[in-house]
Amino acid sequence: MRVCKSSYRKNTQDHKLNLLALDLTNEIHYIAVRFFGKEYSLEFTENNRSKRNDWNKKIDEIYNKIPNFDLKKIDANIYAAGPGSYTGARLAYTFFSTLEYINNTPFYAVSNLEAMNIECPDAVPFFANNNKDFFFRINGEDKHTNDINEIQALRKKLIGFEHNKDLVDLVIPKNVVVRNILEKKNLKSGENYPNYIKELAYKKL
């Protein structure tokens, strides 16, 4: 098993912008901040799920770690929209929606698969959270299938996270998603909803 050697380059974003990026789609929550030219990374590990989404803890940590930090000075917010924990993606969406209302700060969603592709542009990003749902990105489009053979038939190298190591060719660390969405270029307004690749099915009780 090899670890992907990134061809990722910085300077794709305007580094004069102050940006806050969130990835809440994993058990470990990742935050990346660019504030007046300096970049900061934070990780939050919490085994107790009921405490995992403690915003006060996250905000306090950001303010404590970054000198003179002020949410009002952030030019744009970006979050990892999935696939992964859709609860986490929705929480990030709600949080940034609130900041947009309070501070008039625009926010954007970036596909986790697209962020993974930035790390290894020539490979196919792959994500599976169970034995029935497989997500991948090919030709710039995120896709979902229930048949792993459909992906393997592409005959391309697959990249993914450690928990999918038996299904992929190259393993990349989970924190690359938040790092890469901080570098995402060509952000478009309005593209800020969670990344529901798979059609949602709700059952009435």
The pLDDT > 90 percentage for the chain reads 64
DSSP assignment string, the chain: -EE------S-SS-TTS-EEEEE-SSSSEEEEEEETTEEEEEEE--S-GGGTT-HHHHHHHHHHHSTT--GGG--EEEEE--SS-HHHHHHHHHHHHHHHHHH---EEEE-HHHHHHHH-TTSEEEEESSSS-EEEEETTEEEEES-HHHHHTT---EEE-GGGTTT-SEE--TTHHHHHHHT--S--TT--S----SPP-----
Q: What's the pLDDT score for residue 200? A: 52
Q: What's the pLDDT score for residue 14? A: 52
pLDDT digits (tens, 9 = 90+) for 118-137: 888 999 999 998 778 999 99
Q: 129 vs 60, which has greater pLDDT? A: 60
pLDDT digits (tens, 9 = 90+) for 150-197: 999 999 999 999 999 999 999 999 998 998 888 776 776 666 788 777
Q: Mean pLDDT for the chain?
A: 86
